[in-house]
Structure 1
Amino acid sequence: MSHKPTERVLNILNLLSVNADGLTLTEISKAISVPKSTLFPILQTMTDMNYIQLGKDSFRYKLGISTFCIGSSYSQDEYMLEFAKSIMKNVVTEIKEICQMGVLEGNNVLYVLKEEPEVGLDIRIISRVGKRLPAYCTALGKALISNYEIEEVKKLYPKGLISYTENTITDFDILNNQLLTIRKEHIAKEYEEITKGLCCYAVPLESNGNVIAALSVSVPNFRATKEKLNLITELLLNARRQFGNVNFK
């Protein structure tokens, strides 16, 4: 069941977005079937917060500067994702393994982008955009929390670190040492901590000094030769540098 007040606000925004010349109180009332007495305080609040504006002479409501700012922010995020995709495609072309991008959501990694090699592989890694995994036992997650002090990490996991395989790090001190290494070397490494037979390398991606995402390459153990892991490290660090050269303000 939808929330009526919220629905009305969204209906107003949608309506004004397709009526560039604006609409009067009466026109909006008729279009969304809401009494003017109920509608007016909603419009007043939206006007006060600059989501809509009221013409002094026309008495017509139009979209305001706040909606523009939100749209601009979305466009900027969209540009960032497109830029990341191009970098990921280059990585996949070189290494012929899956490349993924994740962001921190609470204490989990949320997988937001994925690129796979077009060439056939004997074994493919099954993964999907929208997947969530604990940050502490994934390379992406460790990269994302690499700047966290250990007390901050403990607050993320008040019940401790759960083991998923015999390789899962469950000791906060060991995890802290790993995070310190990641801060110094800018690359996170994970060996079968969440999935048996799989290792993963990742780098934190920064914008304006803040880690905003992470990029990873996963590879089955039987394909994880020393040469391949060295190449993955080189490609990811190069991708990190490329990302860091762009200002996503």
Structure 2
Amino acid sequence: MFSALQVIPVLLCCTLGEAITGGSRAAVSDFPYQISIWDSIGHPFCGGAIISSRWIITSATCAKVLENQFDGKIADGTPDASKPRTIRAISEKVIHPDYNSPPGNANIALIKVATDFYFDFYTQAVTFNNKTSPVPGDEGFVAGWGALHYNGPDSDELMYARMTVIEHSECKASLEGNYQLNADQFCAGQIGAGISTCTRDSGSPMTADNVLIGLVANNYCSYNGFPTPFTKVGHYRDWILSVAGV
């Protein structure tokens, strides 16, 4: 669902890329809803997506870092994290009340910026998944400024990958002993194939057919061939509406 402001339709991204850990460079027009979250010392550490003129969505993991930092910032409108087009102050953070109960559950949060986003070719709101869940075989795009590989450097350039949703039971078995995959989550990637998000990609959106379906909940940087767990955005559609009004 778009905000009341006029929003230009989001363009479908480019061509097939590799994982964000070594993937393909993105243009800002490919992911105009993509934002980076900066800490109080100006270091970008997480991703997220614009959902209206004043709200972005991200993971609770990312929002917790900012719990006592109202001088954190939101940067938008650029593929280069070191040269943001605009930086906005944060006025409110809302973490889902069920976060981490059980562990990893409800890893979703909303952040309100102090001034309106200006929607144009470079900055737009993403459309929503309306209470539906992705199914195995669905494909989507994920972008972020995360590390290029395990224990590697972060990328200043926005990178993207195409990822495929895999069976819940298959993913849960592959992560057993390392991560508790909950019912409100799904996995994407390819077990053993090295397609994964990495450090600093947490909170970044996954979209399918230009619709938001998930948020990066954890990162393994392709370590041991693990896939990426995502929070199902549609599972929390009513909560998002109650908080952000969209």
- TM range, smaller chain: under 0.3
Give the TM-score normalised by structure 1.
0.27
TM-score normalised by structure 2 residue count: 0.27
Which one scores higher on RCO, CA 8 angstroms, separation ≥ 6?
2
Please state which structure has a larger fraction of its residues in helix: 1
Tell me which structure has the larger Cα radius of gyration: 1
